[in-house]
Amino acid sequence: MNWTVYILECADGSLYTGITTDLARRIAEHEAGQGARYTHGRGPFQLKHKERCKNRAEASKREISIKALSRTRKLALISQQTLTVPGS
């Protein structure tokens, strides 16, 4: 099963990082207020970054490493993807 690590930008400009096996479903859950507690009332959301991982363990480790980054480094990660993967 493939896992995805993702970063959402909330309407208030904050960034949320999570993992899922179904990105479209998970974003819909966030939009419906059924996602993580942090995202309640912070929508709408924009997907800013995504990475595929082989398994949950790899995805969880990557999520933790992204969450440990400063906002500046997260924004650099997002802009790096935008430059290297147009249309994502």
Q: Give per-residue pLDDT as tens, 8-59.
A: 999 999 999 999 999 999 999 999 999 889 999 999 999 999 999 999 999 9
Task: For the chain, list the domains and their CATH numbers.
Answer: 3-84 (3.40.1440.10)
> Could you give the CA distance from residue 48 to residue 13 in angstroms, rounded to a whole number?
12
Given a contact cutoff of 8 angstroms between Cβ atoms, the answer to whether 71 and 13 are in contact is: no
Q: pLDDT tens digits for 55-66?
A: 999 999 999 999
> Could you give the CA distance from residue 49 to residue 41 in angstroms, rounded to a whole number?
21
